[in-house]
Amino acid sequence: MSMLGLYVPGDSAVYRIPVGAKLLGLFGAVTAVIVVGHPWTAAAAALGCALLYPLCGLPPRYAWRTLRPVLPFLALIALFQAFTGDWQVALRVCAQLAVAVLLSGLVTLTTRVSEMLALFERLARPLRFVGVRPERVALVLALTVRAIPMVASAWRASREAYLARGLRGRPHLMVVPVIVGLVRSAEAMGEAMTARGVD
């Protein structure tokens, strides 16, 4: 789970910062990088965000594994911007996105899911006046967070089975087992919630 952007136990100072302050810092830092709008400033900020991981007690591989899933998208954005604009625009946009991804990953890696859900439940309390139940908001977020390792686990199991059968060159054959596994997991989760009186 830890490699998927979920909480990693630690004792550095960032772990003791309240979740609300972390989210405000995330919002402020990303906003500042966007407002400044300078490509080399954004690139330096992205490098600084990557260096924050070991400073916060996390091995550098966490920064790489946080950024790796979005690298294909960053490459496509860079190519598009380079062809339609110039390389400085491509650098600025990709660096700004990297800052947002790296800081978001750092927040989730150093914050317990329960703390984040409690914050969102508190923030949703004013919505009670329009009929929204804050605990349901927290439940939806909890299920969303739970789905991250569920999808990754299903994909990993399907890929291992695909490779064990000696299949090559047909990655679409992994998709159907993943979908079937996720549907079964969703049904089991729904039955468990119904059994506990969650409608």
The last residue of one of the domains, among 54, 84, 111, is: 111
Q: Are residues 61 and 137 in the same domain?
A: no
Confirm whether 118 is domain-assigned: no
- Please give the pLDDT value at position 138: 76
- Mean pLDDT, residues 1-30 taken together: 82
**7 and 36 fall within a common domain:** yes
Sign of the torsion formed by the C-alpha atoms of 46, 50, 51 and 55? positive
Please provide the average confidence, as pLDDT, over all residues in the chain. Answer: 83
User: 163 falls in which pLDDT band (50, 70, 90)?
Assistant: confident
- d(CA 87, CA 83) in angstroms, rounded, equals 8
Written as six digits, the tokens of 186 are 């969703």
The full 3-state SS of 56-83, as one line of letters, equals CCCCHHHHHHHHHHHHHHHHHHHHHHHH
Give dist(CA 51, CA 62) in Å, integer.
11
Highest mean pLDDT, choosing among 74-88, 130-144, 149-163: 74-88
Q: Of the candidates 81, 111, 141, which is a domain's last residue?
A: 111
**115-144 tens-digit pLDDT:** 888 888 888 888 888 887 887 777 777 777
Give the domain-ending residue among 63, 79, 111. Answer: 111
Residues 69 and 158 occupy one common structural domain: no
The residues, ordered by sequence, that sit 6+ positions from 101 with a Cβ below 8 Å of its Cβ are 66, 67, 70
- Give me the helix-helix angle, 87-109 and 71-84, nearest 10°: 160
Q: Are residues 31 and 94 in the same domain?
A: yes
**The tokens of 159 are what?**
């890929």
pLDDT in tens, 43-52: 999 999 999 9
Does 36 share its domain with 100?
yes
Which tokens is 70 given?
């979005």
Residues 94 and 159 in one domain: no
Q: Are residues 12 and 79 in the same domain?
A: yes
| pLDDT bracket for residue 3 (50, 70, 90) | very low
User: Whose structure tokens read 């695909």?
Assistant: 162
Judge contact between 124 and 111, C-beta under 8 A: no
Residues 17 and 53 in one domain: yes
Question: What are the two backbone dihedrals, phi and then psi, of residue 17, each rounded to the nearest 5 degrees?
Answer: -75, 135
Nearest to 52 by CA among 89, 25, 18: 25
pLDDT surpassing 80 at residue 66: yes
Check residue 125 and give its pLDDT. Answer: 86
Residue 90 · residue 78 · CB < 8 Å = yes
7 and 94 co-located in one domain: yes
The verdict on 25 and 69 lying in the same domain is yes
Q: Which of 32-36, 102-106, 130-134, 169-173 has the lowest mean pLDDT?
A: 169-173
Whole-angstrom distance, CA of residue 118 vs CA of residue 114: 6
pLDDT bracket for residue 197 (50, 70, 90): low
Whether 32 and 91 share a structural domain: yes
Q: Is residue 119 part of a domain?
A: no
Asked if the structure places residue 183 within a domain, the reply is: yes
pTM for the complete prediction?
0.73
Domain holding 37, by residue range, is 2-111
Domain count, the chain: 2
Would you say residue 11 has pLDDT above 80?
yes
pLDDT band at 2 (very low <50, low <70, confident <90, very high): very low
Contact of 56 with 110, CB cutoff 8 Å:
yes
